[in-house]
Amino acid sequence: MKPFLFLGTRAEDDAADGEYDAVRRYAGLTADQLQRRRLERAPLGRVDLTDWSGIILGGGPFNVSDPEASKSPTQHRVEAELRALAERVIDADFPFLGACYGVGTLGVLRGGVVDRTYTEPVSCTHITLSQAGRSDELFGVLPASFDAFLGHKEAVSRLPEGAVLLASSAACPVQGFRLGRHVYATQFHPELDVEGLCTRVDVYRHHGYFDPDEVDSLKTMAHASVVTEPMRLLPRFVELYAAG
């Protein structure tokens, strides 16, 4: 099997390693089968799509809607690299699953708009699939409605031209969409479980997602939540796209 490529942007090792390990574990892949590049550490470099079964993009604290003057040189580089890659991926209709930052990366293409209209706090949120989501090859593995962990400062307020809406929540109309047949983005985190959320709450307590005094209550919320369904996206993505 050709390996899958995982792209990360988290500078904090605990969060970065936890995210990659969770994606690999839920997808049922070995480290050789899910190879990682940390874009916050080094340039993306050459990506020949024919070398890979598919690409998975993780989340992180970068937001495409951040004021341009506030973005670091690293963030500017990462955004440019991911935009160029995303354009190639869409043109080739190459298997791609962008979780969280995937919405920012894909959502600004083809006339789409990503802004601060539909922010959601760190929470366990109820997600509902659209009719297209229920019949989709990838999203169709999920139940018609389910709970997922998330927390985001930005979201899609206008879908890219030709995008298919797959999932929504009460506070955020676009929780998942597809471009072409094989290019996907989710606002929610398909890899995030209770342990992972608690780690990120500790890591990002001073990143503006929540009041630092809320750490304990957010962990209590996480432990009281039942989030079991979003993870199904990952092995299904591998099942659909693992290539010899």
d(CA 8, CA 233): 18
Would residue 207 show up in a list of annotated catalytic residues for this protein? no
Is 198 catalytic? The answer is no
Which amino acid does the sequence have at 32?
Answer: D
Of 40, 100, 154, 172, catalytic:
100
User: Does the annotation mark 189 as catalytic?
Assistant: yes
198 token code pair: 């608690």
Active site residues: 100, 189, 191
